[in-house]
Amino acid sequence: MKKPGIEYLHNPRLNKGTAFTPEERLELGLTGLLPPRVSTMQQQVERSLANMRAKPTNISKYMFLAALQKRNERLFFRMLIDHITELMPIVYTPTVGQACQEYSSIYRETSGYYLSLRDKGRVEELLSHWPDQDVRLIVATDGERILGLGDLGTNGMGIPIGKLALYCACAGIDPSQCMPIMIDVGTENEGLREDPLYLGLRQNRIRGEEYLEFIDEFIQAVKKRFPNALLQFEDFATPNAVSLLEKYRDELLCFNDDIQGTASVALAGLYAATRINNKKLSEMTYLFSGAGSAATGIGDLLSKAMQREGLSEQEANAKLFFIDSQGLVTQDRDYIAEHKKPFAADLPPMSFEEAVNQLKPDALIGATGTAGVFTQDIIETMGQNHESPIIFALSNPTANAECTAEQAYQWTNGRAIFASGSPFNVVHINNEIKIPGQGNNAYIFPGLGLGVLNSGATRVNDEMLISAAEALATSVSQTQIDHGCLYPPLKEIRKVSAKIAVAVAKTADECGLIQTQLPQDFDQVIQEKMYDPKY
């Protein structure tokens, strides 16, 4: 039986809105259901942009785009791809942080898949409710550590949805193969539990064995139901993020963007920084403000990159120092978390300020989630110790950045090599234009996923992450470097993602992680496979 015409307008994957031709309208039973004038996709993009730009706040723009995605998927992605520089801060950081905080109150219609404790024992069966069964890419969170905002429970669904939108826009992953998943195991956020509009379980988080058993049921269900999928762990609290990655990284195709993606994009920034200060990675000392999974993830990958330059593991780790809430992470502590142990310094305890003064690090890397911890005194000391101090304020969203771009440049008289996790505006100083580089994970994870899925890689390893970082660093033009920018323009991100995909696939092949030989024209294969929304 022929579908009623209205169904085409209610299906976001089939809907073309006013772009349905007269012939299509007649054939599909749409005549009379649309205004008579036929629009081009470009006209629809212009109309949608004008409507979005007229919204008074970023969160209202976010809601407009979310509604557009649910109404006309191809138009949404066409608009996002063609205007990525303008729209990425709306679709993802920093606006997605506010969207998650307000998720229950701004909820309109279902997006993503919600898995809760009530589903224990039936997870594999219930995954069949997802309408697309050829799932190749899953982003899953349990909502405990959303950006720098803490435990947002089910409200954290905004993160997997946003990440997958970037996979599609930035690397051409087919939306029909993407699945955002929220794993609801409760929340410690009392305000949410008491909020009458909150949509998640109103209970404290489960911990320990009960939590691990539920996650394992989920993992085993994914392996059976979606055996070809890459599973990305997203915004899990540090202890769980580290332990889950270590437990499952050799069991299935999986990846933790907070640990591995952040590490790769930060490493890319450091590679690019060496083009400014003319030092090798292995010739520098690094001080991390923060010692969570993101910070030590950068440290792990940076250590391996320095080992590529000839250092031993012990020598490389000795160049990496970490500050946590107790000060410098040192060996004389009574208790040191496992992920910090490789970097515990054989030094007396000292504060952050004392460490900057005594260690004289070449690079200061912030992953604290705390605004303003890079004070004027600290940055001025960095500038006194080095001609071109590296200052990375990587915490998201923008309000949580350790310092602003303007502060980093002003307090070093324009000599800082700066990068941040969220965007900052251009800075004018000493008659120069400084372009702050945004170390956005979107430079890495989409290209990584594109390479992994199209090469048939069975695992993601550190060598692939280093190759991704190298490919990203070499994508920065000399003109960008001359203005102090360590990352390419966002408008080039699809080209960069394709380059990263090829590098990742070739490295996976060299590591024996691909079962069939890559074709000689794999770079062309990647271009042809990339989703490009058109009518």
pLDDT digits (tens, 9 = 90+) for 255-298: 999 999 999 999 999 999 999 999 999 999 999 999 998 999 99
Report the domain count for the chain: 4
Q: For 261, which DSSP code?
A: I
Residue 371 has pLDDT above 70, yes or no: yes
Mean pLDDT along residues 516-528 = 94
Task: For residue 535, tell me if it sits in a domain.
Answer: no
Kindly state whether residue 534 falls inside one of the protein's structural domains: no
Give the model's pLDDT for residue 399.
84
pLDDT at 515 over 90: no
Q: Are residues 99 and 202 in the same domain?
A: yes
Q: Hunting for tokens 């579908």 — which residue is that? A: 3
Question: Rounded to whole angstroms, how far apart are CA atoms 234 and 216?
Answer: 16
In a domain, 366, yes or no: yes
Closest to 137 measured CA to CA, from 509, 465, 447, 438: 447
The Cα–Cα gap between 421 and 405 comes to 11
Is residue 2 classed exposed, middle or buried when 0-12, 13-18 and 19+ CB atoms within 10 A define those classes? exposed
Q: Select from 83, 109, 141 the last residue of a domain.
A: 83
Mean pLDDT of all residues in the chain?
96
DSSP secondary structure letter of residue 514 = B
Per-residue pLDDT at 406 exceeds 90: yes
Pairing of strands 327-328, 320-324: antiparallel
Query: Do 78 and 171 fall into the same domain?
Result: no
pLDDT of 4 reads: 80
Q: How far apart are CA 456 and CA 6, in angstroms?
A: 39
pLDDT at 314: 97
**285 and 426, same domain (yes or no):** yes
Quick check: helix, strand or coil at residue 494? helix
The pLDDT assigned to 397 comes to 76
Confidence check: pLDDT of 2 > 80: no
Distances (CA, A) of 294 to 109, 145, 367, 394, 421: 33, 12, 7, 10, 12
> What pTM does this model have?
0.94
**Residues 184 and 320 both lie in one domain:** no
Q: Which amino acid is at 460?
A: V
Q: Which residue has the tokens 């941040």?
A: 420
Q: Which domain holds residue 33?
A: 5-83
Same domain, 108 and 201: yes
Q: Classify 436 as helix, strand or coil.
A: coil
Quick one: average pLDDT of 443-461?
Answer: 97
407 in the same domain as 309 = yes
Beta strand 437-438 pairing with 417-420: parallel
Taking CA atoms, 414 is separated from 129, 133, 275, 410, in Å, by 55, 53, 17, 6
Q: Which residues are catalytic?
A: 92, 163
- Which of the listed residues 398, 423, 440 is the one where a domain comes to its end? 440
The percent of residues in the chain predicted with pLDDT above 70, rounded, is: 99
pLDDT for residue 177: 98
In terms of Cβ atoms closer than 10 Å to its own Cβ (0-12, 13-18, 19+), residue 372 is: middle
| pLDDT > 90: percent of the chain | 94
**CA atoms within a 13 Å half-sphere pointing along the CA-CB vector of 208:** 2
* Six token digits for residue 416: 């800082």
Choose between 121 and 109: higher pLDDT.
121
> Measuring CA to CA, how many Å separate 141 from each of 181, 273, 414?
7, 32, 39
Q: What is the pLDDT of residue 93?
A: 84
